[in-house]
Amino acid sequence: MNARELFDRYFGQCPLVAIIRGVTPEDAAGIGRALFDGGIRIVEVPLNSPEPFASIERIAAELGEDALIGAGTVLDPADVQRVKAAGGRIVVSPNSNPDVIRATVAAGMVSSPGIFTPSEAFAALDAGAHALKLFPAEAASPKVVKSIRAVLPKDVPLLVVGGVTPDTVGAWMGAGANGFGLGGGLYKPGQSADETLEKARAYVEAASRR
């Protein structure tokens, strides 16, 4: 299974990516399990979290092949191999650094860089990106998604990230978004597993109404 097929396997089950910024290794497995039980199948631990590689390792051990685990806020190509060594299989970035994208592709992992313009989108695809995330979506609108979607290859997944709530999911998807990255609306540091499960279920239900 190549990296794109790997992404499609989990994204096809649920078009949401959980961004658990600030999670600690002590809480990681429990939060990962809550997200999975809530229906989410892709989880990223941003590298500006406490001991992120330890958290990735614990979530990957907890969920195994049932979920796609990896890192977010990956800015340095050197970190790609560290993510892989921890059991991560997806690398997400807020920007479109071609060196990070190429390193991810070379490692056989899923690359999902951040873009905000068509130029950035096509540069990321030229470097080998498998999925694109529109970030920060707070500065965009469904009309922007519609315009970008019109020129992107139809098979390229476009995720909206930033300020997404269960109430706004429908408008974004109606404009052509394929899915979402969920940050503070889904998880905040110190949040309990029970609350995480409840929020995950609300987002998954909203996405299923598309």
Query: Catalytic site residues?
Result: 44, 133
3-class secondary-structure state, position 41: coil
Find the farthest-apart pair of alpha carbons in the chain and give their distance in angstroms, rounded: 44
CB atoms within 10 A of CB 110: 27
3-state secondary structure of 140: coil
Between β-strands 16-19 and 158-161, what pairing exists: parallel, antiparallel or unpaired?
A: unpaired
Cα separation, 53 vs 67, in Å, equals 17
The amino acid that residue 86 corresponds to is A
Structure letter (DSSP) for residue 66? G
The two tokens of residue 202 are: 């609300």
Cis peptide before 136 (omega within 30 of 0): yes
Q: Count Cβ atoms below 10 Å from residue 18 Cβ, excluding itself.
A: 32
| Alpha carbon distance 72, 49 (integer Å) | 10
Rounded to whole angstroms, the Cα distance separating 158 from 15 reads: 10
Under DSSP, is residue 57 helix (H, G, I), strand (E, B) or coil? helix
